[in-house]
Amino acid sequence: MQPEPFKTLSGTAAPLEQDNIDTDIIFPARFLLITAREGLGQYAFHDRRFGSDGNPDPEFILNREPFRQAPILVAGANFGSGSSREQAVWALLGFGIRSIIAPSFGEIFHGNCLRNGILPITLPDRVVRDLMSLAKDGLALTIDLENQKVITGKNEAFGFDIPPERKLALINGWDETAQILNQKAEDIDDFETWQRQDQPWLYETETAR
């Protein structure tokens, strides 16, 4: 599934103040036997969103207005640590999350986000705390990927870093295969030209007898 292109995102930001929200909190291990990627959004933060009786927990931030459909999370440090399960990112994406702002991320989770169309933004702890306060008040944030800025409703702007190749892939909605084909096309053509000359039998078509 190709990620949706990501250029500018504006919307409500849900504050998740807890540090060390790991991938088991985001996507509980007992759902790992589900192999289909589609539909995993219903399991995002499942054990926080629902009580033991199966009813939504009204205290959990993503069950409360105006955060139910927030496309942005502002989270504590070390978000997405723990297991490398990619389903955690797929579940967040299925739930509608397109960007997460935090002081730090689990390394594998961070890479999985970038490969699947979610923009993880690392900002200093004091800046995240300020954004968390604004999020609690329900103020929207704008994320301008092309200019690498997080803009608040008070017209404050905070710059962030992202590797250039990942930025280009997010803006164009490229998955890893599309990224290789688009950024390494000349190298691939050169290799195939060499291979056709050096190993021509690889390109022969079998004829019917």
Q: Give pLDDT tens digits for 36-64.
A: 889 999 999 999 999 999 999 999 999 99
Beta strand 72-75 pairing with 8-16: parallel
Q: Give pLDDT, residue 181.
A: 85
Nearest CA to 139 out of 16, 8, 13 is that of 13
Tokens of 191: 């290799």
Tokens of 66: 């105006």
Report whether 72 contacts 134 (CB < 8 A): no
The number of residues in the chain equals 209
Calculate the alpha carbon distances from 4 to 8, 69, 85 in Å: 12, 17, 21
- % of the chain with per-residue pLDDT over 70: 98
Tokens of 1: 């599934």
Task: Provide the b/e sequence for 143-162 (b: ≥16 CB within 10 Å).
Answer: bebeeebbbbeeeeebebeb
Amino acid at 178: A
Report whether 42 contacts 94 (CB < 8 A): yes
Q: Give pLDDT, residue 204.
A: 80
Arithmetic mean of pLDDT over the chain: 93
Q: Give pLDDT, residue 146.
A: 97
